[in-house]
Amino acid sequence: MAVRPIRMYGDPVLREMCQPVTEITPEIETLVVDLIDTMRDAQGIGLAAPQIGVPVRIFVIDLSATDAGEEPLAFINPEILRADGEQNGDEGCLSFPDYFDKIVRCDRVTAEATGIDGHGFEVEGMGIMARALLHETDHLNGVLFIDRMSKFRLRLAQGRLRKLKRSTEEDLGENG
């Protein structure tokens, strides 16, 4: 169990197409626990494996944001089955500290995945949960929420994003 460093925008791992999980090994179990620990530490509602530097198809979502008392849920090899409706609201990402912007997303989403117990499950989410399912699934395909922003909003944010990217690239350069 460990909190791992969160990779920031500009880190190339965030743009990788993540690989499917073929077997739930002890390493995968540890990765899931670390994802949950890291998400909680950062007070996020979702976190995808590439965000801690591992390009595999896993994310976790903290359902307590929507359903009180629920434990965080791990999604292994998730697929979006249905997505409809529309919502426009503020969205953020732990790889973009203190940055939120308006993103249009579907409002009702059904996803299926394998759980950490190896069994398949299906969830339907609305509102913030639908947004989280789409956001985290995007991460597994190297897609970031800024890619979903309107051209106008992206233009407004450009200076800030460029600065974050440059500072990440500098950090990566220093650390080898």
Q: Which residues are catalytic?
A: 136
Phi and psi of 46, rounded to 5°? -160, 155
Between 93 and 129, name the residue whose CB sits nearer to Zn ion: 93
Q: Are 10 and 164 in contact (CB under 8 A)?
A: yes
Q: How far is the CB of 151 from Zn ion (least distance, A)?
A: 20
Q: How far is the CB of 91 from Zn ion (least distance, A)?
A: 9
Q: What do you get for the CA distance between the two ends of the chain, in Å?
A: 26
- Report which residue's Cβ sits closest to Zn ion: 93
Query: Which residues of this chain interact with Zn ion, rule CB under 5 A?
Result: 93
Q: How many CA atoms lie within 13 A of 116 on its CB side?
A: 16
Q: Which amino acid is at 69?
A: G
Q: How far is the CB of 93 from Zn ion (least distance, A)?
A: 3
- Calculate the dihedral angle through the C-alpha atoms of 84, 85, 91, 94, rounding to the nearest 10 degrees: -20
Q: Are 63 and 46 in contact (CB under 8 A)?
A: no
Between 53 and 120, name the residue whose CB sits nearer to Zn ion: 53
Q: How far is the CB of 128 from Zn ion (least distance, A)?
A: 14
Between 32 and 93, name the residue whose CB sits nearer to Zn ion: 93
- Whole-angstrom distance, CA of residue 76 vs CA of residue 79: 9
Between 113 and 146, name the residue whose CB sits nearer to Zn ion: 146
